[in-house]
């Protein structure tokens, strides 16, 4: 397949595929929208109903079919089947209905779909690098042209969303992320690749499931695992030296290790760490505008010190340092809680990425007798946080007493229950608004409707990573950046924060999902500009950076086809 531009400026696609082979290509299939001339040229007469439809007519039918599905899982299955049949129609349909369909193809429904992946399997998509086939990694990657892949989303599926180890089923999260890259930033779906590293699973339900499609084996040892991942990364780096590699849903220890290990080796990014931190930081920047305060004047309590929680802490810590605090002063503004309770220096062993945030080992001993550093309410009472962030996946952890205790200590409490999906959120925004008398500034991880309280509407922002990573990827791909730098992340955060239109009547801390395409484009421009300024862009740019980014945005429209004539060298 090749896209050609005629002298008059009209684009068309050349392909050697004919007949049923063309209809079976999800990249190229137009279904009933093949023109009469194309049907003749590509031997499609008789393989399609007589009527020739427009894309808009196909959209109407597809939306009716979507609406008839019984539940969200069935809607997800319908859309994936459409994806496997007609890629252009799939992306155009969702773009036309993005507020309704984004939660179906991405969070929260993606989690359920991944759990059901083996049961509902229809067609493979992407690459499965299984440990028993580790000698064939180079051979597997060789099936793709090295100049036609711009972006890879890689997962080992150890910690999928809020549902844990999903083994080979986790390929679904890589696919979903790439769908969002296209929907929200227009990155060409034919230049991206989802990859699943199958190193076994410790999920007993999957190991006993007769339909499970992955390698039926417990996860391999850490030594074997890190050697395998290193081999995979080296093979990717050699095959696709200019690719943007995103790590997705690795376990907390491995996620941090891989980012630290490879971020100076290739252009790489971890959405669970950096993306989550960036979106939360953008929302907080706007909360700080409303409260008229600096972040360095706040005390931050993060309930859930895993990959996401520590990623948020790192981003907020960087902001405090930029505001003038030294490193230790900034760390002293944080309190992290994990499954063992408050992270303190008294512990025998602390994960290296948590250790800088460990509070004084003597601090809890100075609390009121009977207060327990393992209990959130007691920590809130003693720490007196002004910002409370939840990444724990503990449903209802932010109880009325926790919220009202915090709200009694500050005029405008900032409370972000960010856990996904809806069933795992720490608190519902309507409860937080009601318990604080409308004083709290709220952002959530899952989508919630705005809250009506005392005849006033309170906007609820969703800290959806789709607000940041598609635009970041667009900027990286457009500039062909060799690295993702801290300043590039800062540029994305500032652009995202500024895209929320704050005023007296609207305190929504982040833009609506319906504006994702415009927001992602602006972020892409900001990131590409910063990459060029820092000298990490491989792309030479003469002139308009906005035009550069726009030229890298794929549109889900049908382009005329012409037969590609294959010349026989014999």
Residues recognised as catalytic = 106, 177
257 CB-contact burial (10 Å; exposed 0-12 / middle 13-18 / buried 19+): middle
DSSP annotation string for 457-518: EE--EE--GGGTHHHHHHHHHHHTBS---HHHHHHHHHHHHHTS--BTTB--SS--GGGHHH
The CA dihedral of 35, 39, 44, 49, to the nearest 10 degrees, is 40
**Which helix (DSSP H) or strand (DSSP E) does residue 387 occupy?**
strand 387-390
DSSP annotation string for 396-459: T-S-HHHHHHHHTT-SS-EEEE--SSGGG-S--HHHHHHHTTT--EEEESS--PPEEETTEEE-
Residue 3 bridge partners (DSSP): 13
Strand order in the sheet with 192-198: 127-130, 192-198, 151-155, 244-248, 268-270
**Residue-wise burial string across 208-225, b where 16 or more C-beta atoms lie within 10 A, e elsewhere:** ebeebbbbebebeeeeeb
Cis bond leading into 274, ω under 30°? Answer: no
Separation of alpha carbons 379 and 374, rounded Å? 8
Please state whether 477 falls in left (phi above 0), alpha (psi between -120 and 50) or beta: alpha
Q: Tell me the three state secondary structure of residue 197.
A: strand
Going by C-alpha positions, the residue among 369, 395, 394, 371 that lies closest to residue 383 is 371
Separation of alpha carbons 432 and 428, rounded Å? 7
User: Are the C-beta atoms of 153 and 126 separated by less than 8 Å?
Assistant: no
Going by C-alpha positions, the residue among 394, 403, 401, 178 that lies closest to residue 304 is 394
User: Are the C-beta atoms of 321 and 327 separated by less than 8 Å?
Assistant: yes
DSSP assignment, residue 217? S
- CA within 13 Å, CB half, 538: 14
Q: Which phi and psi (to 5°) does residue 382 adopt?
A: -90, -40
The CA dihedral of 471, 472, 477, 479, to the nearest 10 degrees, is 100
Separation of alpha carbons 489 and 197, rounded Å? 27
Separation of alpha carbons 1 and 14, rounded Å? 6
Helices (H) and strands (E) in the chain, counts: 22, 17
């Amino acid at each position: 397949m090749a896209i050609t531009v005629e002298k008059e400026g009209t684009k068309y696609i050349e392909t050697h595929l004919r007949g049923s082979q063309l209809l079976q290509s999800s990249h190229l299939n137009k279904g009933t929208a093949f023109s009469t001339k194309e049907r003749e040229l590509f031997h499609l007469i008789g393989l399609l109903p007589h009527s020739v439809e427009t894309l808009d007519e196909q959209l109407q039918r597809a939306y009716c079919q979507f609406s008839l599905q019984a539940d969200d899982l069935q809607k997800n299955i319908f859309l994936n089947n459409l994806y496997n049949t007609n890629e252009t129609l799939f992306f155009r349909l969702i773009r036309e209905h993005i507020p309704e369909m984004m939660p179906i193809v991405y969070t929260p429904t993606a989690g359920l779909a991944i759990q059901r992946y083996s049961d509902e399997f229809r067609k493979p998509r992407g690459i499965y690098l299984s440990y028993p086939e580790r000698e064939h990694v180079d051979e597997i990657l060789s099936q793709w042209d090295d100049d036609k892949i711009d972006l890879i989303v890689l997962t080992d599926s150890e910690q999928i969303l809020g549902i844990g180890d999903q083994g080979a089923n986790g390929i679904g999260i890589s696919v979903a992320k790439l769908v969002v890259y296209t929907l929200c930033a227009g990155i060409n779906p034919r230049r991206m690749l989802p990859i699943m590293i199958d190193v076994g699973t410790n999920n007993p339900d999957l190991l006993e499931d007769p339909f499970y499609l992955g390698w039926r084996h417990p996860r391999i040892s850490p030594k074997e695992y890190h050697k395998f991942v290193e081999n995979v990364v080296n093979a990717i780096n050699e095959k696709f030296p200019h690719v943007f590699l995103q790590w997705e849903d690795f376990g907390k220890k491995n996620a941090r290790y891989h980012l630290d290990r490879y971020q100076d080796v290739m252009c790489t990014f971890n959405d669970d760490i950096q993306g989550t931190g960036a979106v939360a930081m953008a929302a907080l920047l706007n909360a700080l505008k409303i409260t008229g305060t600096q972040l360095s004047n706040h005390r931050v309590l993060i309930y859930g010190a895993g990959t996401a929680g520590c990623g948020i802490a790192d981003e907020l810590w960087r902001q405090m340092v930029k505001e003038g605090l030294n490193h230790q002063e900034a760390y002293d503004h944080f309190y992290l809680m994990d499954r063992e309770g408050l992270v303190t220096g008294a512990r025998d062993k602390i994960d290296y990425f948590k250790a800088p945030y460990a509070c004084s080992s003597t601090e809890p001993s100075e609390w009121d007798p009977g207060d327990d550093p393992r209990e959130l309410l007691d920590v809130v009472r003693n720490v007196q946080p002004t910002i409370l962030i939840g990444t724990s996946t503990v449903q209802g952890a932010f109880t009325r007493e926790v919220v009202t205790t915090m709200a009694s200590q500050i005029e405008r409490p900032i409370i972000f229950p960010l856990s996904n999906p809806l069933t795992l959120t720490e608190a519902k925004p309507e409860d937080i608004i009601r318990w604080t008398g409308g004083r709290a500034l709220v952002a959530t991880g899952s989508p919630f409707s705005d809250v009506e309280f005392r005849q006033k509407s309170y906007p609820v922002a969703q800290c959806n990573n789709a607000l940041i990573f598609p635009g970041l990827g667009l900027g990286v791909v457009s500039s062909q950046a060799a690295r993702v730098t801290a300043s590039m992340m800062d540029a994305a955060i500032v652009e995202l924060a500024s895209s929320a239109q704050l005023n007296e009547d609207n305190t929504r801390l982040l833009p609506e999902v319906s504006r994702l395409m415009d927001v992602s484009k602006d972020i892409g421009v900001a990131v590409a500009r910063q990459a060029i300024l820092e000298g990490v862009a491989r792309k030479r740019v003469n002139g308009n950076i906005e035009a550069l980014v726009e030229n890298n945005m794929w549109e889900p429209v049908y382009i005329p086809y012409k037969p590609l004539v294959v010349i026989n060298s014999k």
